[in-house]
Structure 1
């Protein structure tokens, strides 16, 4: 593993959403000659002690997985993050959403090299919206306590929780790394663009 920053780190591929706008599971889309969950799993494995796919009760995967806990009723990616911490509260968690096809080794390397383990989290700042991007973030073990309190209050916006805490906020090397694909139209357009750029 190329990094050792005080605390061990596990990886979580966030993919437990309903994918209602896409009409099919985003984790199973093919951007790199394999499913996106397979791509991210292989990408994250060299950097993490363990890597898991975050799934809901209706999903199945052949990869190591963490199923959303049933006691949190809100529909939000924050449930996947909470479920990961409940499984291992002493680990830091590198979270990557499955709908970010342009995340690569450079992205993870930059995030880990600039990780501040003394903060609650290390995140990229979205340069257009100027908020922390919660779905491409390292959450430290100390994040678990305010996360539990936040959920007890019935709140679910991870961005709001990050904004309320002392976090390391990084400028992303390439804004395209934060691009997410949520609809069939976006997916088809992305695939066409990728094909046209091939030599």
Structure 2
């Protein structure tokens, strides 16, 4: 096969999706992963979206919630050394357990994000190979957990967690982070809203 005949590179084969669904969601009143938007559970919508661009989708969840997800899901509970330390712990755990070249992260509380949006995010992130993280910015609003992380960052995440530095934004400020314009990913910026209370939808 000549170079001209080669098929386009399949980014999905080297990308693992991380569905962040470990929060107990006290402000929401119940775990948001099991809330509904337009008739479907938040985690179902997020899983479907990530599956559009990832060879494997894994759910990062708390031990108390893990058995509530469908048996077909790969569910990862935090490693003991980072357990319960927020989203960085979930990302770190998946990086330690599942080798990949990149990790596409989506929190479960963004139920308007669909497959098209995720595919476009993956495409844009691929154009910035120099970035440690490619995350989304919608105007003045940062969406740090809708993001693509390169491999090899697990040690950095674990160091931050061990030092009790759990802010995702502060970590991204230390890394080579590229902020992608949300309007290049989806023209409807409502897609990037987090649902923090039951009346948000």
Q: Give TM-score, length-normalised by structure 1.
A: 0.83
Deviations 1:155-197 (A, max 9, x none): 10111111111122111014312201111232xxx2xxxxxxx
Aligned to 2:95: 85
Computed over aligned residues only, the root mean square deviation of the Cα atoms, in angstroms, reads 2.1
Q: What does 1:113-152 correspond to in 2, within 5 Å?
A: 113-115=123-125, 116-129=128-141, 131=142, 133-152=143-162
Any runs of at least 4 consecutive aligned residues in structure 1 with deviations exceeding 4 A, and if so which?
Answer: none
Aligned to 1:184: 198
Aligned to 2:5: none
2: CA distance between counterparts of 1:38 and 1:177? 16
1: CA distance between counterparts of 2:12 and 2:120? 17
Q: What does 1:27-176 correspond to in 2, within 5 Å?
A: 27-59=33-65, 60=67, 61-62=69-70, 63-73=73-83, 75-115=85-125, 116-129=128-141, 131=142, 133-173=143-183, 174-176=188-190
- 5+ long unaligned stretches in structure 2: 1-7
1: CA distance between counterparts of 2:12 and 2:23? 32
- 5+ long unaligned stretches in structure 1: 191-199
The structure-2 alpha-carbon separation of the partners of 1:3 and 1:18, relative to structure 1 and needing over 3 Å to count, comes to farther
Between structures 1 and 2, the one with greater strand share: 2
1:141 CA drift (Å): 0.3
